[in-house]
Amino acid sequence: MTMIFAHRGFSGYYPENTMLAFQKTAEESPADGIELDIQLTKDGEIVIMHDEALDRTTNGSGFLKDYTLEQLKTLSVGVNVKGFFPRQTIPTLREYFSWLKTTKLITNIELKTSVFEYEGMAEKLVAMVHEFGLEKQIWYSSFNHYSIARIKELQPDAKCGLLTETWIMNVGAYAASQGAATVNACSPFCLKEGVADDLHQHGVGLQAWTPNDAELMAKLVKAGVDTLITNFPDVAAKVIGR
């Protein structure tokens, strides 16, 4: 059965990577899980945000890493989204985990370490997962495959995904060599003939980002994709017949 992950929460209708978008995923969609992104503040706290810069989604500017958590909490999130919503702030991962424990949702945490490496973030992340006892609900992913290797060192049984927008040759063999559970790839690569079969033959799953229309979702399911990471989990549910 194809799984559905809500991309940055239920971001098709609510401000991405906010507690509102996460809570609405559980309340209003049949998603199996949530995909979100983490970075480190200037004072070393793990927070949830996709962009390294604050400008697109908040009323702040500059790089997130240059602000303390206290400073970041003064900002409003969702300024790029039309509609009326309760004021949202940048969530900490600790806030999110406190809520996640009340659900059965899986969370695919993307370590945003491709632009800034955020030394020590993997260690902080795994320690917090253990603290909350969420090992079975947390999957990890990153475009920085060195970050995934570090996660595997810290938690050998961790379910890890190799994010890519590159069309990797012999992708199944590569992913298996890294101990990856999944490859999380752009939709065009997922549709390439033989990619899903290659990965499955090596015991690796395939997750597609970010299909948001029903026609593309249907093509991906037919191609053998295991997980749709989408802004519209409600649409995905109709496509796969839930």
**Which residues carry out catalysis?**
7, 50
Q: d(Cα 89, Cα 91) in Å, to the nearest integer?
A: 6
For 133-213, where are the alpha helices, taking DSSP H only?
145-154, 171-177, 187-191, 195-201
Distance CA 160, CA 152 (A): 8
Tokens of 39: 């970075």
Cα–Cα distance measured from residue 220 to residue 110, given in angstroms and rounded to the nearest whole number: 22
Number of C-beta neighbours around residue 70 at 10 A: 11
Of 149, 147, 201, which is closest to residue 179 (Cα–Cα)?
149
